[in-house]
Structure 1
């Protein structure tokens, strides 16, 4: 994953979030603050979550907008938020790693495949959740070829 997509300012470590909605709003807020999306993209992320959970297993959730949200995306962006204490995504699904995505066109598909490769190894997820620096997180994703 190129470093221009996953920047230090898009990574937040050791956050404490009270629930799924707060978690999605937090992740979407970063994408908005960094100029990747309009504010209404966050609402579309919440709608997406109502349609189908973005919980992927292994403590990972990948919140993103609906198809209708495409017009709210200025450029492809990704944010990584670690929540070591976990946040309840419903149905007993606890999320400790939130990866928010806003994709312009189909650019995000490549990002998703890289995330899938990294997150297919539980050991990698543990390393990201336990990371002390943003650089460690960037390294985890940039090692994927």
Structure 2
């Protein structure tokens, strides 16, 4: 049975981290513990390679690290809200939406997820909901349309 794209176990509140690599790793750990990855190190390598090609800081204090990877079992959208914003390349970031999509076999699923995120992030109301949610269930409800 396949998992939902987002679930309580891959949502992290008040995450304390100093670097984007540390955040990417903590979200990958959560995905791995939830049985979404074949190989955490392989997925991490793919995400970090993607980061090298161009920044995933997209404005709105948000970053969207992502990868299509043979190391991913289940399409996943993990979320972290940082306790303190960090510098992600040239931008301050406090929210991270990390995407994992299996490759091959999922086509442009990662682009569909990114597109839906971008369409929502332009709205103050969406960002405010994500920043003010107090439970993981609220985050899941906000993102259940993905």
Using the size of structure 1 for normalisation, the TM-score is 0.84
Residue of 104, 115, 118 corresponding to 1:116 = 118
In 2, distance between residues paired with 1:31 and 1:120?
Answer: 27
Q: Deviations over 1:54-87 (max 9, x none)?
A: 111101111112xxx5211212111011114212
Question: Is the aligned partner of 1:42 residue 2:78?
Answer: no
Aligned-partner Cα distance in 2 for 1:21–1:53: 12
Structure 1 residues 90, 110: CA separation in 2 closer, same or farther (over 3 Å shift)? closer
CA RMSD of aligned residues (A): 1.9
Match of residue 133 from structure 2: 131
Report what 1:28 is aligned to. 28
Q: Residue 89 of structure 1 corresponds to which residue in structure 2?
A: 88
Structure 2, unaligned stretches of length 5 or more?
none
Matched, 1:59 2:57: no
1:78 — aligned with what? Answer: 77
Structure with higher strand content: 2
CA deviations 1:15-41 (Å, max 9, x no partner) are 111111111111222222222222110
CA shift at 1:122, angstroms?
2.5
Name the CA distance, whole Å, in 2 between partners of 1:76 and 1:58: 24
Does the 8 Å contact 1:29/1:42 carry over to 2? no
- Segments of structure 1 that go 5 or more residues without pairing to the other structure are none
| Secondary structure in structure 2 of the residue aligned to 1:29 | helix
Pick 1 or 2: higher relative contact order, CA cutoff 8 A, min separation 6: 1
Normalised to the residue count of structure 2, the TM-score between the two structures is 0.83
Number of residues paired by the alignment? 138
Structure 1 CA distance for aligned equivalents of residues 18 and 131 of structure 2: 17
Q: What's 1:7 paired with?
A: 7
Alpha-carbon distance in structure 1 between the residues aligned to 2:86 and 2:27: 13
The 3-state SS of whatever aligns with 1:72 is coil
